[in-house]
Amino acid sequence: MTRGQRLFILQLENTRTCVRKANDMAPSRLLRVAGIVTCILFSLTSAQTRGDVGYVETCTQIDAFGKYCPTTCGVADYLHKYKPGMDKKLDNMEDILEMITNRTTGAAEKVTNMKDSASQQQKSGGPDTYIKKSSNMLEEIQRFEKSIVTQEEQIYQLQGILEANEKRMLDLKQLSIQLEQKCKDPCKDTVEIQPTTGKDCQDIANKGAKISGLYYVKPVKATQQFLVYCEIDNFGRGFTVIQRRRDGSVNFNRDWTQYKEGFGYLTPSDTTEFWLGNEKIHLLSTQATLPYVLRITLTDWEGNTKYADYATFKVGPEVDKYRLTYAYYYGGDAGDAFDGFDFGDDPSDKIYTSHNGMQFSTGDKDNDKYNGNCAKQDGSGWWMNRCHAAHLNGKYYNGGKYTAKDAASGFDNGIIWATWHSRWYSMKETSMKIIPINRITAGDGQHGGVKEFGGLGDM
Ligand SMILES: [Ca+2]
């Protein structure tokens, strides 16, 4: 059930509850009508909001990482269901109002009769006490008259509301007709998935795909295809993107299963954050006869972008806890943070913060080299040692700079690349992407730097 559908049902239940309360509680019919009118008002307002919500909120995310937004058919369906019930309620209200009007007329007649009989009594003369009693009665009657006038005013107001409601119903009917027209066209996915498929994005680029976007890939050992973002540049290189940070919109504090399956959102425009998933990264990185290069790109809060490449990047199977291995640092201007960093706290800092050969850890699965639990302390999943000099799944800190006080555990838990910025500086954007090693160099024969090729215009 999508969030949109749940909303509809909630609102329907609200309407029902509302009417029931008005019936139970109000001793006077007038109050009851007021209750019902309020309820209807509420329902109508809600229905209009839902109409708007329907356009946006019915997006569905599927396992294969697509986000699909159907058209507004759901809203139209709802309106069809909703309308007959409302018509009936309005009819009932009209009946009740008529009843009240009848009773008011009856009461007015009664008052006139009472007044007449009182004045007759006065004329006929009698004991003082009787006259006093009679004038008291008259006062009572006048009060009663006043209250009737007030009630009549209220009835007019209610009638006004009723008319306004009828107008809204008409508007809704109009809207419903418009939606019906729209829904005659078959619903389409709003996410554009490119038709070419392959073992990875380089395979797809080799088949002639020219634009970056979402593609289905099926690595050699994969049982089913899955969606990836392919970054295809002007040199015909196809990078398969396995990680993306851009704005902190996705929470990277996830458990083992979520890191295994992947999380976040893939978009054709590469505007969202995600972790592709350890299983998929394993299948991709271990399939080729040609080894892969992992390219890490980093953007800081001053707008500088740097990169680091690792040759023969592989992620092992789950039985080996998705162990990270690579052959060597292939180059880049961000420095080799995967090899650890000497922070100056301890002589063995560099060894204990290196990442090559580390198994993957999450808060609920501690595979690190530390007595405590690095992943739990830092609220992330990563190839933790004791703990890290590179940490791209860390907490997102707007502005970059943070302190031990900002981190829940007191440890450096940001998006860190220690060979470029201090561990108390969190990157603004990151990406991790893989490409067969024979394609990493761009068409000009030079080792491809981030600034040299297209397709990364916004970085
Ligand atoms: Ca541990």
What is the CA(368)–ligand 1 centre distance, in A?
Answer: 5
Long-range contact list for 24-27, CB < 8 A, 24+ apart?
none
Q: What is the pLDDT of residues 157-195, one digit of tens each?
A: 999 999 999 999 999 999 998 888 877 777 666 789 999
254 alpha carbon – ligand 1 mean position (Å): 17
What is the pLDDT, as a whole number, of residue 329?
Answer: 98
- Does residue 459 surpass a pLDDT of 50? no
Interval between CA 231 and ligand 1 midpoint (Å): 36
Residue 418 identity (one-letter amino acid): A
Lowest mean pLDDT among 186-195, 318-327, 352-361, 378-387: 186-195
- Provide the pLDDT for residue 106: 76
Q: Tell me the residue ranges of DSSP E strands in 188-237.
A: 193-198, 213-217, 226-232
CA 49 distance to own-chain centroid: 17
Output the average pLDDT for the chain.
82
Q: What is the pLDDT of residue 71?
A: 53
Among the residue ranges 94-103, 270-279, 314-323, the one predicted with the least confidence is: 94-103
How far is ligand 1, taken at its centre, from the CA of residue 348, in Å? 17
What does the alpha-carbon distance between residue 337 and residue 401 come to, in Å, rounded to a whole number?
19
Q: 135: pLDDT confidence band, cut at 50, 70 and 90?
A: confident
What is the CA(262)–ligand 1 centre distance, in A? 23
The answer, as to whether pTM is greater than 0.95, is no
Chain segment 214-227, per-residue pLDDT in tens? 999 999 999 999 99
Extract the runs of DSSP E, i.e. beta strands, from 3-85.
60-61, 67-68
Please check whether residue 11 is in contact with residue 3, taking contact to mean a CB–CB distance below 8 angstroms.
no
| CB hemisphere CA count around 405 (13 angstroms) | 1
Instruction: Using the mean position of ligand 1's atoms as its centre, give its distance from the Cα of residue 370 in Å.
Output: 4
CA of 386 to the centre of ligand 1 (A): 8
22, 93 in Cβ contact below 8 A? Answer: no
pLDDT at 289 over 60: yes
Q: What is the pLDDT of residue 104?
A: 74
Q: What's the 360 CA to ligand 1 centre distance in angstroms?
A: 11
- Higher per-residue confidence, 434 vs 191: 434
Residue 348 pLDDT more than 60? yes
Structure tokens at 346: 């301890």
**Within the chain, how many helices (H) and strands (E) appear?**
9, 16
For the beta carbon of residue 363, count every other beta carbon within 10 angstroms. 19
- Using CB atoms within 10 Å of the CB of residue 309, give its burial: 0 to 12 exposed, 13 to 18 middle, 19+ buried: buried
Length of the chain: 459
Say what the alpha-carbon torsion angle 220, 221, 225, 230 is, to the nearest 10 degrees: -50
Mean pLDDT, to the nearest integer, of 58-66?
Answer: 59
pLDDT of residue 308: 98
Mean pLDDT, residues 432-438: 96
Distance from the alpha carbon of residue 256 to the mean position of ligand 1, in angstroms: 15
